[in-house]
Amino acid sequence: MLERSVHGHCSVVTKSSQPLQDKNNNEIISVVTKSNQLLQDGKQYEISSVATKSKQPLHNGELQDAGVRELPNWCDLPDLVLLSILKRLTSLGDFFAFGRVCKGWRLVSEFMKREYMATQPPLLCGSTSHRDFYSWKEEKLYKKDQPALKGGMILGFSHGFLILLHESDQRFISLVNPVRVEIMANFPLLPECLNSRYVLSHASLMSPPTSPDCLLLLSDLNFIFLCRPGDLKWAVYPRDYGRSVILCEIFFKGKVYALNDRGHILIYDPSHPPKFTFLRAKNNLLSDSICRSSTRLADCGGELFAIQCFEYSNRRKKVKFVVHRFDFMTCEWVRLNNLGNNVLFLDSCRGAFWDDADNWGGSGNCIYYLPNTSNEEKFSVFHMKGGRVEDIFYPGPCFSSCWVFPRLCC
């Protein structure tokens, strides 16, 4: 059940398989009247406000019936009308309230869920134990009332699942889909060499948990951990590789791609014996030591990107992002000054997500990123054109939060 709260005020829509009664009819009417003219069997008609039985006074002070129009049975609305109403709803809260009206409405919302979620921007999942989901486009805070989401620490979001570290047992990993509330926890306990949850810096999946190719990647300051669902133990690899150190790693085209401190790429194929192959880049994008710890890799539409963050703190703190694409033909890092209509979302778990702003009506050529301090109640947008930084309010500390894409959860 979703509860919706705005700046601390919470309203709950209860779940029911029967049509809502008189006290809730006003809410349904307000949803229906958002679509003024709808289609039914190819013909247009209007749904007007519903009049109840009323009395009008006569000259002698008596009352008479002015006319009676019974409230309609909202379950009898044709599917074509329900689809038209649903397509006009822009709020996630309205969408889930629509599905709770009755069984027929719920079936229509389930049928349209994937298409509707594809039009929604990513939500910001808070690091609090209650797992708030903030829609910055609506400026509303949603709560998911599910025990599986409470407690623990968010390690990342990947392929529609939150990767959570258990609160009481810091070696226990679970995967939770925040929309379908699916839970997967068939991973072994983390190795004893990982003795603190706060040193984990990245977590991602190679494919959805139901896929036979699913592989979970975790990393900390010293090791990289790989495991498939159902495995008895984790494969552990040191971050030191020869004379270099691995800075960041991701899944890319079914393999693990890692970037070392010299700007070169290490590739690990899980389907072959555990061995890294070396891909030397002709140019070193990490010549500036300032940005080494804040560099991350991203799979951007089948291209391998490296995103670097430069922070300057003279009189006023200034942030600058530089994006490179790896050209596999020339083995060079090519700088990009324009992302087109695409957007990069960077979370606190060293994750990076690529999205088309046209999907949810946003502005492209920018990077959304979270603060690196625990007390800031905002996140920011870096505009590639001009380098302008825009701050966006968030009702709580943004640190250790992550981006959740609704379209990936369906």
Q: What is the full DSSP assignment across 128-166?
A: STT-EEEETTTTEEEEE--GGGSSSEEEEEETTEEEEE-
Residue where the block lists tokens 């079914």? 254
Domain range holding 107?
Answer: 2-37+72-117
pLDDT by residue (tens digit) across 105-130? 888 888 888 888 888 889 888 765 55
Highest mean pLDDT among 44-53, 204-213, 264-273: 204-213
Give the residue among 260, 281, 278, 283 at the shortest CA–CA distance from 268: 278
263, 285 contact by CB (below 8 A): yes
Tell me the percentage of the chain whose pLDDT exceeds 70: 70
pTM (predicted TM-score)? 0.76
Angstrom distance (rounded) from CA 275 to CA 155: 26
Scan for tokens 């592989």, then name that residue.
215
- Number of structural domains (the chain) is 1
Report yes or no on 304 lying in a domain: no
Per-residue pLDDT at 326 exceeds 80: yes
| Residue carrying the six token digits 């159902």 | 230
Residues 6 or more apart whose Cβ sits within 8 Å of residue 268: 237, 255, 256, 258, 274, 275, 276, 277
What 8-state DSSP symbol labels residue 5? E
**Residue type for position 258:** A
Neighbouring residues of 283: CB distance < 8 A, sequence distance ≥ 6: 263, 332, 333
Domain assignment of residue 100, yes or no? yes
Q: Residue 31 domain-assigned?
A: yes
At 135, give phi and psi (nearest 5°).
-95, 105
> Shortest CA distance to 176 belongs to which of 345, 404, 3, 1?
404
Amino acid at 340: G
Share of the chain above pLDDT 90, in %: 14
- The whole-angstrom separation of Cα 224 and Cα 202 is 9
- The confidence score (pLDDT) of residue 128 equals 58
Residue 395, beta-bridge partner list = none
Beta bridge partners, 105, equal none
Q: Is residue 78 part of a domain?
A: yes
Structure confidence by residue, pLDDT tens digits, 10-68: 333 333 334 434 434 444 444 444 443 333 333 333 333 333 344 445 444 444 444 55
Q: Is 361 left (phi over 0), alpha (psi -120 to 50) or beta?
A: left
- Angstrom distance (rounded) from CA 329 to CA 190: 39
The verdict on residue 400 lying in a domain is: no
- The per-residue DSSP string of 245-298 comes to EEEEEEEETTEEEEEETTS-EEEE-TTSSS-EEEE--SS-TT-SGGGGGGEEEE
Rounded-to-5 percentages of helix, strand, coil across the chain: 15, 40, 45
Report, in angstroms and rounded to the nearest whole number, the Rg of the chain calculated over CA atoms.
26
Report the distance separating Cα 173 and Cα 188, nearest Å: 8
Q: Does residue 126 sit in helix, strand or coil?
A: coil
Whether residue 218 is contained in a domain is answered as: no
| 14 located within any domain | yes
Asked if residue 142 is part of any domain, the answer here is no
Q: Between 234 and 261, where is the model more confident? A: 234
* Residues 379-383, mean pLDDT to the nearest whole number: 90
Give the contacts of 108 (CB within 8 A, at least 6 positions apart): 79, 82, 83, 86, 99
